[in-house]
Amino acid sequence: MKEPIRDRPVELVAVINSFNRRELLQRALASLTQALRQAPFGSAVVIFEAGSNDGSKEFLNAWHEQNPGDHLIVITPPDDRSSFADGVNTGCAAALTQFPDCQWLLLYETDNWLKDAEPLCKAISLLKVQTQLAATGFTVKQYNGRFFGYGMRFPSFLSLALGQNLSFRWSLDIPNNSALRTTDSIRWRTCDAVFTSPLVIRREAWEQTGGFDAKTFPFSDSDLDWAWRCAKLGWRMAVILSESVIHDNLEQPSAWIFTKIVFDF
C-alpha cells in the first residue's frame, strides 16, 4: 500500500458541513481520508462544525490528533451564521486561505462515501482538459445499489408555477443530459445543475461566482442557484459515470431541516 502523500502542496481541499450526524460523519470521513491518502496529489479536509451536540466535535478532535497527515481543520460558525450555504462558503474560504496552492474544492457531505480515489482523479483530469467546466459530479447510488439522483435541469416557468412536488411527480426536473462523451477513458456528460453530493469545483469558477448565495438560499437550492449563476457566466457542469460513489443518508434526515430551519426561522 502506498504511503500517504504528506509533503506535496495541497491541490484539493474537501469541505464538509457537519451537524448532528456523527454516525454518518464517521463513515464519510473514513472513506474520504482513505481515498485522499492514496491520491497522487496533496489534499486537506475542512469541516464546518455547525454546533453539534451528539459527540461529533469530540470525534473530530480525536481524529485530528490521531491523523495529522490528513490536514484536518475544524471551523465553527462565524457570527451565528450556521446555515448549510454559510457552512460551504465559510469552509471554502478557509480552504483557500489556509492552502493557497489549492486548485480544486471538493464539496462532500456526511451522507457521501467513496470506494477509492479514482473518481477524484478522474474529476481533476477532466477539469484540466475541459476548461469550460466549472465543476463535475458523479453518478451516485445508495448502499443497496439503487440509483440516486445526481442533478436536474434548470426550472422552467411551468415547473416554477406548479411547485416542487408536482414538478417531481411529473418528472419536470429530471436532468437534461447531453450525449455521453469520452475523454481519456472518462465517460461523462453535461447537465444544467449537478448536486453537491459530492462535487469537484474549479477554484476559478468558485471565486468568480462568489460561492453560494447564503442570504437567498441558506438551506436548499443553493447548488441549483450556483449552477445557474455559473451558466450565466459561460461555465458548464459535468457528471462522470462512476460506480464508486455513494449518496445515502441511511434514512437519517438532515438535522438542519428540523433544527436550523424550524427554530432559526
Any idea what the CATH number is for the domain that residue 14 is in? 3.90.550.10
Residue 113 lies in a domain: yes
Instruction: Identify the pLDDT of residue 175.
Output: 78
Instruction: Identify the pLDDT of residue 173.
Output: 58
pLDDT under 70: residue ranges of the chain: 1-7, 156-174, 253-265
To the nearest 10°, the Cα dihedral for 237, 142, 145, 123? 30
Instruction: Identify the pLDDT of residue 160.
Output: 52
**Alpha-carbon gap, residue 171 to 151, rounded angstroms:** 13
Instruction: Identify the pLDDT of residue 8.
Output: 84
Residue 34 lies in a domain: yes
Determine phi and psi for 137, rounding to 5 degrees.
Answer: -110, -160
Residue 110 lies in a domain: yes
The chain-wide mean pLDDT, for the chain, equals 89
Tens-place pLDDT, residues 172-201? 556 788 899 999 999 999 999 999 999 999
Residue 4 lies in a domain: no
Query: What is the domain count for the chain?
Result: 1
- How far apart, in Å, are the Cα atoms of 27 and each of 22, 116, 172, 194, 249? 9, 14, 33, 23, 11
Q: Sign of dihedral through CA atoms 60, 73, 21, 40?
A: negative
User: How far, rounded to the nearest angstrom, does the alpha carbon of residue 172 sit from its chain's CA centroid?
Assistant: 24
The answer to whether the peptide bond before residue 198 is cis (omega within 30 degrees of 0) is: yes
Of residues 43, 55, 44, the one with CA closest to residue 18: 55
User: What residues form DSSP beta bridges with 93?
Assistant: none
Instruction: Identify the pLDDT of residue 57.
Output: 96
Domain around 203: 10-264
Tens-place pLDDT, residues 236-256? 999 999 999 999 999 776 655
Instruction: Identify the pLDDT of residue 252.
Output: 76
Q: For residue 247, what is its C-alpha cell?
A: 449518496
Residue 23 lies in a domain: yes
Q: ∠ at Cα 103 (14, 247), nearest 5°? A: 30
